[in-house]
Structure 1
Amino acid sequence: MAKLPLPPQPAKVEPIKNNPKKWHIRDDPITWQNWYKHINWLHTSVLLSTPFIALYGFFTTDIQLKTWTDTELDPYNAHRGFFYSHLGWMLLKQNPYRIGRADISDLSADPLIMFQGKYYGVFALVLGFIFPTIVAGYGWGDWRGGFYYAAIARLVFVHHATFCVNSLAHYFGDKPFDDRNTPRDHFITAILSLGEGQLIMKQKKLDEEKKKLNWGVPLDQLPIYTFDEFSNNWICIEGVIHDVSSFMDEHPGGRTILATSLGKDVTTAFNGGVYGHSNAARNLMSSLRVGVISGGGEVESRKKKQ
């Protein structure tokens, strides 16, 4: 009698040996030369992400406003002209009775937001102007360049790039979402606004693609059958009759499962009794429906209990 081959033996794994003589960075004291080697940068980046976001707001020194797009409550309403939406909304007086209001109780309860608001002017001055100048001055002796390029020019560029989102992004390009609002997509706007000009959802294209899909005959247009008239070649799910003859060979569970379900209400089996079907399966079944059951159909599992 032939001997069966032995199963492959697992590879031997050498245990990790404790070697007290092996050097590790923790064995060295923290100094100015090696402090960065002692830091777990992954954990540190997670812990400091929220404070850094707040610091970014101080660096940009932007004005915090809510927006009500394309309405009189919109502080930079594009319908009031290109200049107004780009810069004029900050230079011209706003009607206090047409300023949009919002519930900011969640912001008022955030200690980081309240801290930022309380010391906003100080941090904006220090981190937006003084700090960049000091870095360039002490770093490579360029005090004027630090003040002009790292502070003034940087803020001018960042602000106008942001303002382009309010102006250019509402005047040039296509409207891929709908024609009711003014936001547009254009590659030039995307370049000037650092990517903000190519973010609109392509809803129009999606709507055109949806028109090409077979969503099945609407339920209110399907013929009505009694359960006695229900054909043995169909199946019923949630009161809707489906002709699955063209799908039986493609059914992932095999032809047999569908064959044994013909002429029956398989609502329970379809919804988890046998397998919980996905939205894709439901969309497919909608293209196979041929009628509805008068009274909503019969659930086989409930009939058996009765």
Structure 2
Amino acid sequence: MVYDVDKIKASGTAMPYLPAPLDMPTAVPNKPSPTTTEKKSHMSNEQEEEEFIKNNYVARTLLNEPELPPMTWSNWYTQINWPQATLLCLEPLVALYGLFTTSFMWQTIVFTIIWYFLTGFGITAGYHRLFAHRSYEARLPLRYFLLILGAGSVQGSAQWWSRGHRAHHRYTDTDLDPYSAHKGMFYSHIGWLLFKPRRKPGVADISDLTNDKSVQWQHRNYLSLAFFLSFVFPTLVCGLGWGDYRGGYFFAGVLRLVFVHHSTFCVNSLAHYLGDAPFDDRRTPRDHFVTALVTLGEGYHNFHHEFPSDYRNALKWFQYDPTKCLIAFFKLIRLAHNLKEFPQNEIKKGRYSMARKALDQFGRTITWPKTNAELPIISFEEYQRLSKQEDGRVLVLIAGFIHDVSNFIDSHPGGRALIKNHVGKDATVAFYGGTHDHNTAAHNMLAMMRVAACKYGGEVEHIKKRLGHVQTPTPIFA
């Protein structure tokens, strides 16, 4: 990949992904033929909609593959995914029973926490970043290790999980997204697992996984691996280790599984509701520290959806992303390689576009001065004539614009006299440092007092050059 960490460092440039230009003359873009333009302009709304559907996979699929009938009180029991619903609903009940009936042993508590993190990393570092997004490459021992841990989290095989997750990224927030946030927080968190889907998720390519022997091994043996690693293994470790079979089952097995499930489910739910969108706000993914804290570092989800093949979720050193640190550790011990990072230049573009969008929104709350096109244009002589009229106006010419300062003259920090001395004259030099070098606020405030533009309003440029004055451009041009 062009954004491999090692390749970027070895290239000696920040943008090694840019191709060499073709040694060919630049083509002049062809103007659309009148017939084509005329044809488009004469298309009816129905024809335009048909054209859109024909060329849009999501719209075409939604039209040709209607969803199942809605769930009602009469058919709800046929719409439940009973195996998954039974497991997910019984888990917390069994865990609660164990909490109230089983004594605590510190060794079991420590092992439960360790086993929680290990099986959680099987999802985040394994299923998610390695198999679903291929954000790094792993040696065969590490691949099997992560597949085994992933099975211990009981979230389906890596092939099934990755297929759904790739569809989620490809069709985010549409009806082809298997756990779309637009269907509600409950649905995106767990509802999509409890109930049969209303329609098939969108097409996703998993040919790399179907050709991966390690993934296929786990896929064939998933049920036995999941049962053994979720319940039998922790029970045996705690029982044979320090005689706490009961605690091993209820705490390291069932209670741990409840936390692993809802921790990783938060990536589909909480990460699409809580936080901000520093890279793109057109879709629901959000960045937030709390989500990162409960998902082993998967909470910087807006970044992840914009740059899904990056092995990191958190960019800054203080952001919580233990999965990123674990992958870096795997690289250090030579179990992982080809860690992928999107170029910083492209990441900055995302931040810039969102910052600019926020500034544009803020700017729309501000009243701006009138532009040249909105002002009358008068001669210097006409300006002088108007300034002598006894109509209460106090007109001053500065930088080619005529300003009515009658409502400000009494509040002028330098006093009325300084302004009165420049009425009917060009006060550009005085305003730009001849008398006082005004600050940005003064420039902005003055611009709001524009009432006309002076035709050929640069009469004093030769005087400013003679005085050696370097003009600071007026901050507001709009």
TM-score (norm 1): 0.50
- Which structure has more RCO (C-alpha within 8 Å, separation ≥ 6)? 2
Report how far residue 47 of structure 1 moved. Answer: 5.8
Query: Distance between the aligned counterparts of 2:207 and 2:231, measured in 1?
Result: 31
Change in 2 beyond 3 A, CA 1:210/1:88: closer
- Corresponding residue for residue 152 of structure 2: 59
Query: Distance between the aligned counterparts of 2:150 and 2:190, measured in 1?
Result: 20
The answer to whether the 8 A contact 2:279-2:354 is kept is: no
Matched to 1:116, the amino acid is Q
Report how far residue 153 of structure 1 moved. Answer: 1.0
Query: Distance between the aligned counterparts of 2:154 and 2:253, measured in 1?
Result: 11
- Corresponding residue for residue 283 of structure 1: none
Q: Say which of 84, 90, 95 aligns to 2:193.
A: 90
Change in 2 beyond 3 A, CA 1:142/1:188: same
Query: Distance between the aligned counterparts of 1:129 and 1:117, measured in 2?
Result: 19
Query: Distance between the aligned counterparts of 2:263 and 2:145, measured in 1?
Result: 21
- Corresponding residue for residue 216 of structure 1: none
The answer to whether the 8 A contact 2:177-2:201 is kept is: yes
- Corresponding residue for residue 122 of structure 1: 224
Q: Which ranges in structure 2 are unaligned for 5 or more consecutive residues?
A: 1-137, 304-346, 358-478
Query: Distance between the aligned counterparts of 1:90 and 1:79, measured in 2?
Result: 16
Matched to 2:252, the amino acid is A
1:212-291 equivalent positions in 2, closer than 5 A:
none
Query: Distance between the aligned counterparts of 2:355 and 2:282, measured in 1?
Result: 21
More moved, 55-64 vs 139-148: 55-64
- CA deviation map 1:39-63 (0-9, x unaligned): xxxxxx9662122111112111213
Q: Say which of 114, 126, 140 aligns to 2:242.
A: 140
- What is the aligned length? 166
Change in 2 beyond 3 A, CA 1:76/1:125: same
- CA deviation map 1:161-214 (0-9, x unaligned): 111111111111101111111001112212222221125336543337899xxx
- Corresponding residue for residue 109 of structure 1: 211
- CA deviation map 1:79-112 (0-9, x unaligned): 000100011001112124x422223222111111
Query: Distance between the aligned counterparts of 1:109 and 1:86, measured in 2?
Result: 30
1:72-87 equivalent positions in 2, closer than 5 A:
72-87=175-190
Matched to 1:123, the amino acid is L
The answer to whether the 8 A contact 2:154-2:226 is kept is: yes
- Corresponding residue for residue 70 of structure 1: 173
- Corresponding residue for residue 189 of structure 1: 291
- CA deviation map 1:52-75 (0-9, x unaligned): 111112111213223232111111
Report how far residue 151 of structure 1 moved. Answer: 0.9
Query: Distance between the aligned counterparts of 2:210 and 2:140, measured in 1?
Result: 22
- CA deviation map 1:225-247 (0-9, x unaligned): xxxxxxxxxxxxxxxxxxxxxxx
SS at match of 1:124: helix
Q: Say which of 200, 205, 211 aligns to 2:351.
A: 205
SS at match of 2:197: coil
SS at match of 2:275: coil
SS at match of 2:267: helix
Query: Distance between the aligned counterparts of 1:116 and 1:82, measured in 2?
Result: 31
Query: Distance between the aligned counterparts of 2:278 and 2:216, measured in 1?
Result: 38
Which structure is higher in helix share?
2
The answer to whether the 8 A contact 2:280-2:302 is kept is: no
More moved, 130-139 vs 100-109: 100-109
Change in 2 beyond 3 A, CA 1:204/1:99: closer
Query: Distance between the aligned counterparts of 2:268 and 2:236, measured in 1?
Result: 33
The answer to whether the 8 A contact 2:279-2:353 is kept is: no
2:276 pairs with 1:154: no
The answer to whether the 8 A contact 2:286-2:301 is kept is: no
Change in 2 beyond 3 A, CA 1:145/1:120: same
Report how far residue 117 of structure 1 moved. Answer: 0.8
Matched to 1:112, the amino acid is S
Change in 2 beyond 3 A, CA 1:56/1:85: same
